[in-house]
Chains A and B, each alone.
Chain A
Amino acid sequence: MGKGWCLFFLFWPVAAVVSCAMAPWVGWSFPYDNAQAASNLGIRIDELFYIILVVTAIVFVGTQAVLVYALWRGANNRDQRASNVHGNHKLELIWSIIPGAILLFLAIYQMNIWADFRIKKYYPEAAVKAPLAEVTARQFEWRFRYPAIGKKLQQKPQPDDLYSVNELHVPFGKPVLIQLRSDDVQHSFFLPALRIKQDALPGLQIPVWFEANKPGTYDLVCAELCGWGHYKMKAHVIVQPEDEYQTYLKNLTQKQFYDGLGTIAAKETGTESEAVEK
């Protein structure tokens, strides 16, 4: 009977390993059919993930195998008594120091990635100088505020700012920075393809930078419970070449300031606000 139980406890780690091994091929791994992360930082995060995966896989297989083997021996133990061992100082030292060293290595190894990702000092300079847009999360949509063409994003909304909902356009080929804020409750800006996630905290403005390594349309979802409609904060980030992006902004300006007569109101207001600034 004991051997049967050993097989029982062997079965599930084997099933776990097999299902993990087939995951990339059946769409259970990273999103979009295990597509490579769409940003260089994301690729580095994936690399870190795979390093940890290898370490944990070895430990998982090792510990489960030893556990089952120990059970197997225990089930077949014909001695009158178990071995009277209270511990082993050397073994304790070995299995404290080795995992400790591995964990410490992992801790130090990842610091650079985190620094590049979130510590302001290491943000790309170009992105910090000219933030692309302000992203405001609210129940239950994403609002984007771009500065007028040729202007800089201001802290306070300007009359010539451009607005869009649930669709953020981003120029390709340079790092961009968005100012993330929330109008009401807490939300979280989650771009699975780029491995980006940052909570939008009411009352704070949090700068987030990212750079897509290929143009495309990426899903943007909310990852922090924000109420009954949490699941439907569906939006997209569209990364497109610089010229297409400029066209988009122009069209947006046209659409937003079209007065029904063919003139674009933004021009006047634009000069006005410039004058105010000066």
Chain B
Amino acid sequence: MTVLNPSPTGLQPILKPQAHHAPGNFITKYIFSTDHKVIAIQFLFTTLLMMIVGGVLALAVRWQLAFPWESMPIVGPWLFAAEGGQISPEFYTMLFTMHATVMIFLVIIPILAGTFGNFLIPLMIGADDMAFPKLNMLSYWFMWPAIACFGMSFAFAGGPAAGWTSYPILADLAQAAPGSGTAQTFWLLGVTFVGFSSMMGSINYMTTIINMRAPGMTFFRLPMTIWGLFITAILQAFALPVLTAGGFMQVADRLLGTCFFYPSGLVINNAAPTVGGGQALLWQHLFWFYSHPAVYIMLLPVMGMVSDMLSCMCRKPLFGYKPMVVSMSAIASLGFIVWGHHMYTSGMNPAVGMAFMVATMMIALPSAVKTFNWTATIWGGKVEFNTVTLNCIAFLSMFIVGGLSGIFMAAVPVDVYFHDTYFIVAHFHYVLFGATLFGVFAAIQFWFPKMFGRMMNEKLGKTHFVLTFIGANGTFFPMHFLGMQGMPRRYADPYLHGYLEHLLPMNQFMTISAIVMGFAQILLFINIFYSMFFGPKAGRNPWNATTLEWTTPSPPGHGNFDFIPMVYHGPNEYAVVNGDKDFLMQTEKECLPPSETVTTDIEKT
């Protein structure tokens, strides 16, 4: 141990001062809490609630594609009574816009950074809370104005209808689409609020990770989870301002009469010709400068968590810790110069497209390295097939598909054909559902005992996993074929075109798979709520894992650690001879000789 990180209290690893006062009453304890664990759980339930909303929207989209213009169950007769339950095409555009918005901004980003970032960062680095607890609380509460804005956006005619990418001119001028009026303004405000929330979170995470690591916790002893969250926070902090600025520019175009994004002379919907001098392409650059790194924001934390979980479940050290860190950083830094691959067909300078193509091809490399390293981690391990492992393997298995289909899109000429077809939809669902959500399911199961002090039910978990896995592949794999057939995205009724007519049965199969997958999530909710109250009680370290959070009680009390922990090792010391155990906690100084009775680890520090 050469480098000791100065903790705010000096180097005394014995007595632990209170960072802030323990909460007094109900409101400060459970609602306006500054405790990172409570905030994490608030984020968890909010995002799970939003997952239901996003999932229902997705099922509605799938319904229209499988049974076009047939009465939509439940909402159809209620919202579209005059049309006999048949939804309108503008309602369809609102459905997929809101599905993407909710899933990206209110589910995936907050469940990763908000829930697991909040919960795990202080616990895994040995801090008693975040660096800025009040900012942390604000970061959660800024989610609600965002949710309110998106909800208001629903309430106004049509809802936002320009896709989650919100491309001008469609999103820029009120007359361009039925949903581009007030609904779009509220949508932009909602995105801005979510941005505030993420920004406060990411500044907090960076500060905490840099300054509040326990003594001995060097950067290269951080668990991969923390690396993932750290790099994500950096990505957020640098990319998000661009989106926020772009969003304000669009709001200004809409409300203040500026013309950043529209040129002169457009006659839209028989309105008077526009007078401007802007360019729609500018928005695409601004938007994708954030939203491509956002793809990695939605992936890197999961990559980190899966690295830790796989290593624990295979009882084997993570294969290639440093290459994993380096490849993650490579993904993050390359992630800033590949945004143009969303714009190959957009009309930007084609020579620039070529440069973006090379960068995009190269970003596949670190992802490949990570995949090989995960497989090598499993190789030679003692695999325990519990729900956590299964979801982690599903992550890996489906990430391979998402990664490989990305190579088709990176190739400019091929992407010209696939751009805005269902091939793209297949690709990002394999990454965002296949990889991210399966990783999240694993992480919920894995850290649930630490959050609530009880284990989740294995049988329910496995059933949920099997149904979700089959449903996800049944829904998303055929999308590749739809894309091959040239079926464009965002079509309310693709069968209008002769060459797409024969795709109806395939779409019906996909919708049935999606319904199976959707209903399977009920099992997840049952499992969570049942296990919260009736699950078997968990000890401090139910998984025999090595990282710091498992030295605390389950659930950890206010201030987390009994003592400030001292860290002596890297995060994944499995497959060692340490008494009767096969793992060495980060807080244990050295391995004990075999067959010596060891009780808990916490007294040893």
Q: Which A residues lie at the B interface, using CB under 8 A?
A: 1-2, 5, 8-9, 12-13, 15-16, 19, 23, 27-32, 44-45, 48-49, 52-53, 55-56, 59-60, 63-64, 66-67, 70-71, 73-75, 77, 79-88, 91-92, 95-96, 99-100, 103-104, 106-107, 110-111, 113-115, 117-119, 139, 182-186, 188, 190, 192, 195-199, 201-204, 206, 219, 221-232, 234
Q: Which B residues lie at the A interface, using CB under 8 A?
A: 88-90, 92-93, 161-163, 167-170, 176-178, 262-269, 279-281, 314-323, 345-347, 350-351, 353-354, 357-358, 361-362, 364-365, 368-369, 371-373, 375-376, 378-383, 385, 390, 393-394, 396-397, 400-401, 404-405, 407-408, 411-414, 416-417, 419-421, 466, 469, 473, 477-478, 481, 484-486, 488-494, 496-499, 502, 506, 574-577, 582
8 Å CB contact of B169 from A16, A95, A185:
A185
Q: Contact: A234 with B400, CB < 8 Å?
A: no
A sample of 19 cross-chain residue pairs with beta-carbon separation below 8 angstroms, ordered by A number, consists of A2-B385, A27-B485, A31-B486, A31-B499, A85-B319, A86-B317, A86-B321, A87-B319, A110-B414, A114-B412, A184-B169, A184-B267, A185-B168, A188-B345, A195-B413, A197-B345, A221-B488, A230-B490, A232-B493
B residues in contact with A229, CB < 8 Å: 89
8 Å CB contact of A52 from B414, B490, B582:
B414
Instruction: Knowing A59-B404, A234-B496 are in contact, say whether A184-B176 is a contact too (CB < 8 A).
Output: yes
How far is it, in angstroms, between the C-alpha of A52 and the C-alpha of B381 when the chains are bound? 33
How far is it, in angstroms, between the C-alpha of A53 and the C-alpha of B417 when the chains are bound? 15
Instruction: Knowing A27-B502, A228-B88, A234-B497 are in contact, say whether A104-B361 is a contact too (CB < 8 A).
Output: yes
Instruction: Knowing A85-B316, A201-B280, A202-B280 are in contact, say whether A222-B575 is a contact too (CB < 8 A).
Output: no
Q: Contact: A230 with B491, CB < 8 Å?
A: yes
How far is it, in angstroms, between the C-alpha of A238 and the C-alpha of B489 when the chains are bound? 25
Q: Contact: B267 with A118, CB < 8 Å?
A: no
How far is it, in angstroms, between the C-alpha of A59 and the C-alpha of B316 when the chains are bound? 25
8 Å CB contact of B345 from A8, A19, A96, A199:
A199
A residues in contact with B269, CB < 8 Å: 139, 184
Q: Contact: A63 with B371, CB < 8 Å?
A: yes
Q: Contact: A100 with B582, CB < 8 Å?
A: no
Instruction: Knowing A114-B354, A232-B493 are in contact, say whether A183-B385 is a contact too (CB < 8 A).
Output: no
Instruction: Knowing A27-B502, A52-B407 are in contact, say whether A203-B369 is a contact too (CB < 8 A).
Output: no
Q: How many A-B residue pairs have CB under 8 A?
A: 323
Q: Contact: B365 with A203, CB < 8 Å?
A: no
8 Å CB contact of B162 from A73, A188, A225:
A225
How far is it, in angstroms, between the C-alpha of A226 and the C-alpha of B489 when the chains are bound? 12
8 Å CB contact of A75 from B317, B353, B383, B413:
B383
Q: Contact: A227 with B177, CB < 8 Å?
A: yes
Q: Contact: A67 with B396, CB < 8 Å?
A: yes
Of all chain B residues, the one with the shortest Cβ separation from A229 is B89
Q: Contact: A75 with B484, CB < 8 Å?
A: no
Minimal beta-carbon separation of B502 from chain A (angstroms): 6
B residues in contact with A67, CB < 8 Å: 375, 378, 393, 396-397, 400
Of all chain A residues, the one with the shortest Cβ separation from B311 is A82
